[in-house]
């Protein structure tokens, strides 16, 4: 089975639910063997058509112009131009859903996270044991084909670190903690949200669907970009203003302890809502703290986090979701809105200010529980 940063939900990405028009794929890799493996994997799905192959980005550029593919699979290291440089130019000039092929090494993890920040939809581990290692690739291609990447042309730049309005600087310590969940498209989304949070912002805990090695690289990438201090969460770690802690993944979910102020709690266990780490686990652990929490659900496929967000709202917490227009995949936020987990769908560039508005409000008595 292929290893991906995201786990497609079979109920929403199965070939049987795809459109009748074949998904046109361009394969870009300097290895003829890898290109053959990718082609062989994709050929098993009658709703996917490999329309061209390229051994390096210069060939790929011409193939994109000539064939207008719906999805591109792209190697990271290639002659003439590396895959990341090609991806930057592609997303700037002709945004197209891209699935990166990368090794799960430390360097590969850094490259994968950078690719997702640039605009790639997913990253798949390079096959090591023949095309059997790419058995799930067709499903990832279906998911990528439905992704909203055109919006990247108008991607707003993050706020400069340390810059905050007078409103955001009035955050009362330990009054609220923010829980954020994200999946497909979450790397870029979280960068845009967290780089807008001032240094004295509220404690923030994040569950992002990615493998353990990628999450470590993601935290290391975010920390110098942000005014807040970003790191992978550790067990029993106190939460304080100005800090962001990200679920470590692997065998662990991230949750909050029941005492106030809460601490990070790492829980070993099976997948929940199809994921480990699971957004639902994080959100449900916030429910005992009621109106002292803020719940935010960003772009992602499937429904992980939607029901947990509803429970947070019913406990009195303000809840926000990313809107359809700015979501790479409007899955998790869509379900949340449909079940009444939130009535506030915001563009990505407005989510940080909404978080800070809620966290700048002085809390008084516990509000009445919301019922949808």
Which of 4, 109, 146, 183 does the annotation list as catalytic?
A: 183
Which of 131, 304, 323, 327 does the annotation list as catalytic?
A: 304
Residue with tokens 């497609």: 8
Q: What is the 3-state secondary structure (H, E, C) of the chain?
A: CCCECCCCCHHHHCHHHCCCCCEEEEEECCCHHHHHHHHHHHCCCCCEEEEEEECCHHHHHHHHHHHCCCEEEEECCCCCCCHHHHHHHHHHHCCCCEEEEECCCHHHHHHHHHHHHHCCCEEEECCCCCHHHHCCHHHHHHHHHCCCCHHHHHCCCCCCCCCCCCCHHHCCCCCCEEEEEECCCHHHHHHHHHCCCCCCCCCEEEEECCCHHHHHHHHHHHHHHCCCEEEECCCCCECCCCEEEECCCCCEEEEECCCCCCEEEEEECCCECCECCCHHHHHHHHHHHHHHEEEEECCECCCCCHHHHHHHHHCCCCEEEECCCCCCCECHHHHHHHCCCCCCEECHHHHHHHHHHHHCCCCCCCCCCCCC
| Catalytic-residue membership of 140 | no
> Are 298 and 333 in contact, with CB atoms under 8 Å apart?
yes
Residue with tokens 């994200």: 182
Which of 209, 253, 275, 307 does the annotation list as catalytic?
A: 209
| Catalytic-residue membership of 209 | yes
- Residues labelled as active-site residues: 183, 209, 304
């Amino acid at each position: 089975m292929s290893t991906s940063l995201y786990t497609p939900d079979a109920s929403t990405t199965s070939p049987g639910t795809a459109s009748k028009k074949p998904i046109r794929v361009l394969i870009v890799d300097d290895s003829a063997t890898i290109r053959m493996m990718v082609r062989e994997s994709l050929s098993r799905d009658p709703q996917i058509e490999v329309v061209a192959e390229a051994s390096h980005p210069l060939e790929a550029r011409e193939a994109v112009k000539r064939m207008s593919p719906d999805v591109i699979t792209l190697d990271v290291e290639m002659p003439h131009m590396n895959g990341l440089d090609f991806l930057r130019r592609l997303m700037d000039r002709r945004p197209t859903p891209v699935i990166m092929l990368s090794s799960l090494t430390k360097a590969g993890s850094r490259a994968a996270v950078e690719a997702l920040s640039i605009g790639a939809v997913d990253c798949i581990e390079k096959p090591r044991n023949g095309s059997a290692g790419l058995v799930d690739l067709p499903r990832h291609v279906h998911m990528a084909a439905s992704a909203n990447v055109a919006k990247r042309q108008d991607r707003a730049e993050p706020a400069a670190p340390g810059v905050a309005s007078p409103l955001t600087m009035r955050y009362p310590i330990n009054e609220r903690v923010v829980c954020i969940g994200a999946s497909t498209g979450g790397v870029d989304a979280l960068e845009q949200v967290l780089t807008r949070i001032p240094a004295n912002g509220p404690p923030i805990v994040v569950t992002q669907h990615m493998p353990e090695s990628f999450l470590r690289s993601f935290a290391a990438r975010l920390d110098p970009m942000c005014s807040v201090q970003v790191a992978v969460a550790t067990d029993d770690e106190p939460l304080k203003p100005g800090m962001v802690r990200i679920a470590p993944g692997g065998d662990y979910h991230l949750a909050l302890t029941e005492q106030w102020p809460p601490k990070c709690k790492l829980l070993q266990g099976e997948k929940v809502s199809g994921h480990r780490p699971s957004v639902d686990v994080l959100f449900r652990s916030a429910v005992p703290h009621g109106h002292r929490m803020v719940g935010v659900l960003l772009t992602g496929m499937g429904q992980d986090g939607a029901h947990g967000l509803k429970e947070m709202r019913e406990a009195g917490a303000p809840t926000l979701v990313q809107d359809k227009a700015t979501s790479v995949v409007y899955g998790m936020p869509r379900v949340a809105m449909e079940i009444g987990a939130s009535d506030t769908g915001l563009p990505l560039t407005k989510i940080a200010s909404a978080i800070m508005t809620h966290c700048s409000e002085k809390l008084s008595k516990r509000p009445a529980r919301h019922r949808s």
